[in-house]
Amino acid sequence: MEWKDIALELAQLVQNASQHLWMIGVRESISVGIQSLIGSAICMVLFIFFYRGLRTYWKRYNDDALYSDLDGLILCFAVAFSVISFVASIAFLFQGIANLANPEYYAVRHLLRLVEYAK
């Protein structure tokens, strides 16, 4: 078998597989979008949880004349995690919407990254 025959056979294989790879890439983009939206919902639930904890400890922190260092630590922890979870929720939301709005773009982007890493 000559190298030309091998190259033609390989080109035909790639041509047949490219359509399947394209559909897999589009489906992957859609699934990543759904995962991002689920991640956004989880982060929003965490934000609500930490925000409620923050309000509870803030009232306790302001009402009690005697408070411990642990209360201040819990207050800082609640503030930090509430801000982090809110920012993560917004980021996941935008990424999920982008993947669901235009899955073909992200499929092409993914395939180009595969070609780039193959070099």
Does residue 32 form part of some domain?
no
First to last CA, the chain: 27
What average pLDDT does range 36-60 have in this prediction?
Answer: 86
Does residue 74 form part of some domain?
yes
Distances in Å between the Cα of 76 and the Cα atoms of 69, 79, 86, 95 are: 11, 5, 15, 29
Q: What is the pTM of this model?
A: 0.71
Structure tokens at 102: 């235009």
Domain that holds residue 102: 44-119
Does residue 22 form part of some domain?
no
Q: Amino acid identity, residue 9?
A: E
Does residue 88 form part of some domain?
yes
pLDDT band at 119 (very low <50, low <70, confident <90, very high): low
Q: Return the pLDDT at 23.
A: 86
pLDDT more than 90, % of the chain: 34
Q: Return the pLDDT at 101.
A: 94
| Spatial separation of the C-alpha atoms in residues 88 and 42, rounded to whole Å | 10
CB 40 within 8 A of CB 22: no
Does residue 100 form part of some domain?
yes
Does residue 2 form part of some domain?
no
pLDDT tens figures, 59-86: 766 666 556 667 677 778 878 888 999 9
Does residue 50 form part of some domain?
yes
Domains in the chain, number: 1
| Spatial separation of the C-alpha atoms in residues 62 and 67, rounded to whole Å | 9
Does residue 117 form part of some domain?
yes
Structure tokens at 28: 């992957």
Structure tokens at 25: 């890439």
